[in-house]
Amino acid sequence: MVNSTVILSEYQPAYESNPGFWFGGHFLGSFFDMFLCGFMLHQKLHWMAWSGDDRRFFKFIVHWSTFWAAAMTAYTIAWTFNIFVTNFGNYTSAVDLGWQTWCHLMDAAVILSVQAFYLDRAMRLYSNSILVPVLVLPFMFSSFGAVLAGKIVQGTIDNAANWTGTEQGISYCYYTWLGTTVLVDLLLTGFILFGLFRSRTGQTSTDKLVNRLIRVSVEAQLPGTIIAVAFIICQAVPGWLPMAQFFMLWHPKCYVVALLAVLNFRFALRKEMSTLIGSDNHKREDDDGIALRPRALSPNGSLRPPRSYREIIEEQERQQVEGTKQAEAYA
């Protein structure tokens, strides 16, 4: 069991000299986390109203990630209550690594599941190519393994000598976790953007759809990556530890909120695509009349039917099929 008094002896003078700075990050982060939790639950209710046809894999990802994100909010409330109410004036809970490492584990559980969703999206864009998981999965498992290793190492601290010797080891574990998290985010974003970009066909409707998917993909994956980078910087810079704790408390919500935004966006996108298909069918019905025009003379004098609008767009549709198919697979 962690002996918090060992760590407290190092940080207590700083806590007493400027408590607002050292505890402000935790206090504000917990409130921001609760706000994002409510927003996340609202998004999930919207998703549940339209998710009847979603794959079981997607449903599992949503329930798993939202459960652990909500559990971390409840855990953060308990931790905050312990610091500012139950043990007010006693800084032991603030430096107890047991509280922090459980937060890291729940954070990693959320991120791993959300990254699995984007990995599935990337594989579908590349026709289930084995190359994508081969490049991404080792870093995903390394990320979660680093957090687990940090929790195990934290459990060995029971005296001042152990704390001095293992503090750096714990830091390395969490740098590895955050670094591999950022790397996986960048890899998945790159795969998805390149897969969507190459599905562009030059047709206005398809390219417009693909551009929207590209924009949504970037907007969904960028916040979590930025927060992870900020987390690393604050953890590495001496004296910025309170800011690192601020980002830590709501870091997983960035991933879940973005995931639910993507899933809810698909419903509007599918409705728009069905409307577009209905419009195309209406045009084909109108084109039947064009095809009944009198036959024209070919250069050799023989009669041939004129090329109708329907025949013209069929050629364009053949070029459009591959791009639209990939866009639909992603959506």
Structure tokens at 320: 């459009």
139 and 262 share one domain: yes
More confident residue, 329 or 157: 157
Q: Where are the alpha helices (DSSP H) in 126-240?
A: 131-154, 160-197, 204-236
CB-CB contact of 308 with 190 (8 Å):
no
Q: Are residues 297 and 177 in the same domain?
A: no
Q: Which residue has the higher pLDDT, 4 or 112?
A: 112
Of 233, 249, 269, the residue at which a domain comes to its end is 269
How does residue 320 score in pLDDT terms, banded at 50, 70 and 90? Answer: low
- Sequence-distant (6+) residues with CB within 8 A of 144 are 108, 109, 112, 177
Structure tokens at 82: 């312990």
Identify whether residues 34 and 127 lie together within a single domain. Answer: yes
Which residue did the predictor score with more confidence, 135 or 214?
135
Q: Are residues 214 and 111 in the same domain?
A: yes
3 state SS of 23: helix
Distance CA 16, CA 24 (A): 13
283 and 231 in a common domain: no
Q: What is the mean pLDDT of residues 11-39?
A: 83
> Which domain range does residue 259 map to?
4-269
Judged on CB neighbours under 10 Å (0-12, 13-18, 19+), 233 is: middle
Q: Give helix 241-290 / helix 56-81 axis angle, nearest 10°.
A: 150
Distances in whole angstroms, Cα of residue 224 to Cα of each of 15, 54, 107, 256, 263: 30, 24, 11, 9, 17
| Residue 86 binned pLDDT confidence (cut-offs 50, 70, 90) | confident
The pLDDT value given to residue 126: 86
Residues 219 and 253 in one domain: yes
- DSSP-derived letter for residue 200 is -
Reported as a single tens digit per residue, the pLDDT across 232-250 is 888 777 767 778 888 889 9
The predicted-structure confidence for 45-63, as pLDDT tens digits, reads as follows 999 988 888 889 999 999 9
Q: Please tell me the total count of domains within the chain.
A: 2
Among residues 269, 295, 316, the one where a domain terminates is 269
Give the residue with greater pLDDT, 11 vs 211.
211
Mean pLDDT of the residues in the chain: 77
User: What are 304's strand-pairing partners?
Assistant: 296
What pLDDT was estimated at residue 284?
A: 46
Encoding tokens for residue 2? 């962690």
CB 220 within 8 A of CB 262: yes
**Does residue 307 register a pLDDT over 90?**
no
User: Which residue, 239, 269, 299, sits at the end of a domain?
Assistant: 269
Is the model's pLDDT at 312 over the cut of 60?
no
CA neighbor of 310 nearest in space, from 271, 284, 276: 284
The pLDDT value given to residue 212: 78
pLDDT of 214 strictly over 90: no
- Shared domain check, 32 and 176: yes
Query: Can you state the percent helix, strand and coil of the chain, rounding each to 5?
Result: 85, 0, 15
Tens digits of residue pLDDT in 254-265: 999 999 998 888
Residues 264 and 130 in one domain: yes
Q: Do 163 and 296 belong together in one domain?
A: no
pLDDT at 91: 72
Which helix or strand (DSSP H or E) is residue 296 part of?
Answer: strand 296-297
Q: What are the tens digits of pLDDT across the range 128-178?
A: 889 999 999 999 999 999 999 888 887 766 544 445 556 677 778 888 999
Whole-prediction pTM value? 0.78
Q: Is the same domain home to 116 and 205?
A: yes
| CATH code of the domain covering residue 230 | 1.20.1070
| Token pair for 25 | 């990050």
Q: Please tell me the predicted confidence (pLDDT) of residue 242.
A: 76
Write the single-letter amino acid at 277: I
Say which range, 72-76, 185-189, 197-201, 263-267, has the weakest mean pLDDT. 197-201
How many beta carbons lie within 10 A of that of residue 179, not counting itself?
A: 17
Tens digit of each residue's pLDDT (9 = 90 or more) over 116-126: 999 998 898 88
Q: What percent of the chain has pLDDT over 70?
A: 69
Please name the residues in contact with 229: beta carbons below 8 A apart, sequence gap of 6 or more. Answer: 182
Examine the domain organization and report whether 197 and 281 are in the same domain: no
Same domain, 231 and 182: yes
What residues are paired with 297 via a beta bridge?
303
Residues 216-228 pLDDT 10s: 888 888 888 888 8
Candidate from 25-39, 194-208, 277-291 with smallest mean pLDDT: 277-291
For 128, residues 6+ apart whose C-beta sits below 8 A from its C-beta are none
Rounded Cα–Cα distance for residues 186 and 226 (Å): 11
